[in-house]
Structure formats: C-alpha cells, structure tokens
Structure 1
C-alpha cells in the first residue's frame, strides 16, 4: 500500500509499466470531468471507474482483495476513510472473473482521502475503501485499475 499526495504521484514511476501508463494519463487528463462508469486508458491493462458512492461504517465493512489489479483510489469530491491489513481470513470463495475476494480481520493501518491525496492498494493487499470520514457520507471517486501481472 502506498499513500501520498497527487503532486508526488510521479515519484512512483518505475514500479510497473502499467502504473507508469496510469501516471502519465492522470497527468494529462481531468478525471473529475469524466462521466461515471468505465474509461479505458490501455484496454484491460489500465482503466478507471468513476462513481458516486455512499460511505459505510468501517466496522461494518469487509476487506476486499484483488489478485490481478492494483487499485489507485482518488476522491473527486468529499473524502473517505480507508483501512488496510497485512492479512485477513477469507469470507467465501473469491470471484476470479471479477478479480475480487472478501476477507475479515483487524485493520493495521487507516487513512482519509480527499484533499489531493491518493492511496494505491497492490494485488493481494486486503483493503476497505468507501468508509465514513468525518463530515462526509457520500462522495464521487475514481478507481484506476492497474494490471500488475
């Protein structure tokens, strides 16, 4: 997991070629101007989903985990709390087609997005996005999906 400000996103070039593609694209496009739904950057290798989301209490949320994609999360309006764990117990079988599994366990780290910050969850990292943050119950966000195989 990496969290930082958007102005520092370029520091993370070189981790993976598809992350480099996402960083270059984000530097030249206004994500907030995109409509809700999927926008392809480089086919299934790099794409983003823009959405409106109602936030939920962190204690009620399961962790999610992906095997194929990293999630680069950006809040376009409002701010959300996120949680992270270094390990958690599976909650049912993962859906390989949708690249998602759900888990339970204790948080080891948490933070709040918004205000020009991002968080990057790498494949295999249990994370809880879209949780209530102080003063925010709904937001508009973008999740950049970055294939990391």
Structure 2
C-alpha cells in the first residue's frame, strides 16, 4: 500500500455547532465557515453554488447511497471535502493509505484507491466530516436506516 500525496492526515468529524472552532486552519476554510454561519444550506438548489469562485464552492445533490463493503475510497489533491448531510444520514469511511485503482484525474481532482478502512462513522443529525487533500475517504455509503439522502459537499481549495 502506497502513501498518497499530502503529508498531513487530520480528518475531522464534529458537530456543525462546533465548526467555527476550526477557524485558522486555512484561509479558504475560514471563508467556508463564515459563509455557512450566515446561509441556510437547505435553501440551496441542487448543483453548484459559488462562495468564492473556485476557491470555495458547494455541490448540493440528492444521492442514492451505495454499499460500503468493497467500495473504493476517493481522494483529492487540490480540494478538501466538507461533507454535510441535509436529510438522512450516510456512513463514511477513512483510510491512511491505499493502492491506486486507476490513474489520478487531475482535471476532476479525483483519484480512487483500495485498502482497509481505518475509521468510519455516520453523518446526519448536525454532524460533518472534513477530509483534507490526500486523505482517502469513502462517502455516500448506506446505513441500516437510510438508502438515499440530500447532501452538501463544500469544496475548499487547499493549495
């Protein structure tokens, strides 16, 4: 199993109420936190909402959840993912490293790896997960109580 780009592995999961505590980690994360404190994610339409151009934007979607067992982990090099479930709740997985499944897509800023899950949890009910560039994560996995949801993924440029 190889190490992926990105030297730090500090995936964060917490409640949205505590999100302001993470100010100061990166200027674009600060921009996202400030925007989220003054806007209602539930009022956003599906699709992309720009907050600060390509530096911070939000993708809102309705998603059918997948089985977590055997699903690939995704990772990014340019963006952090701040994952927030608006309705329902999904399982997420996180890994320290993995084996590349196919070449990294630089235009889409996404790669996929296979490997063991080192941590996981369930979103929904006011919780978020923040995955930094280089951190393999497996979002959108089914839970016993939920097969589909509406979610927001805040994309935060970390270069």
Please give the TM-score of this superposition, normalised by the length of structure 2: 0.93
Paired with 2:106 and 2:151, the residues of 1 have a C-alpha distance of 24
Number of equivalences:
149
- Measured against aligned partners, the alpha-carbon deviations of 1:90-118 in whole angstroms (never above 9, x if no partner) come to 00101000000000000000000000000
Of residues 62, 87, 94 in structure 2, which corresponds to 1:52? 62
Corresponding residue of 1:148: 158
What is the Cα deviation at residue 61 of structure 1? 1.4
Partner of 1:93: 103
**Offset from partner CA, 1:35-56 (integer Å, 9 cap, x none):** 0000000000000000000001
2:85 to 55, 75, 82: 75
Aligned-residue RMSD, C-alpha: 0.5
Q: Distance in 2 between matches of 1:69 and 1:37?
A: 17
Q: Distance in 1 between matches of 2:89 and 2:127?
A: 10
Pair 1:37 & 2:37 matched: no
* Correspondence for 2:26: 16
Alignment-derived partner of residue 115 in structure 2: 105
- Please list every run of 5 or more consecutive structure 1 residues that lacks an aligned counterpart in the other structure: none
**Cα deviation code 1:67-95 (max 9, x no counterpart):** 00000000000000000000011001010
Matched, 1:136 2:146: yes
Query: In the alignment, which residue of structure 2 is the partner of 1:84?
Result: 94
Deviating above 2 A after TM superposition, structure 1's stretches of 4 or more consecutive aligned residues are: none
* Larger strand fraction of residues: 1
The residue aligned with 2:36 is 26
- 1:121 corresponds in structure 2 to 131
